[in-house]
């Protein structure tokens, strides 16, 4: 399981929280797969929810501005069969 928390820099204190939450996201996904009989898609969704619910990440809390200084958000999940949403 690999989780990417985004690009950018963080203060030393914030970096500890980012690392903690990325680890938590991996553990949540792992728990879905190992102990709860969930699918890979369920595990991905669980990991994303952990990151979206933490203010250390801008997902779910806003966005960085694009080059036109506008908020631009996008998200999706895709599986190996080409299903997405």
pLDDT tens track for 32-74: 999 999 998 899 999 988 988 887 777 656 667 788 988 777 7
Asked whether 26 and 19 are in contact (CB, 8 A), the reply is no
Q: How far is CA 38 from CA 32, 43, 64, in A?
A: 5, 7, 33
pTM of the entire predicted model: 0.74
User: Which residues is 71 bridged to in the sheet?
Assistant: 65
């Amino acid at each position: 399981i690999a989780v990417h928390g985004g690009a950018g820099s963080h203060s030393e204190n914030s970096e500890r929280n980012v690392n903690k939450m990325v680890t938590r996201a991996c553990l949540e996904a792992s728990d879905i797969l190992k102990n709860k009989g969930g699918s890979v898609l369920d595990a991905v969704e669980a990991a994303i929810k952990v990151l979206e619910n933490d203010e250390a990440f801008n997902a779910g809390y806003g966005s960085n501005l694009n080059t036109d200084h506008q908020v631009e958000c996008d998200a999706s999940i895709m599986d190996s069969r080409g299903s997405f949403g």
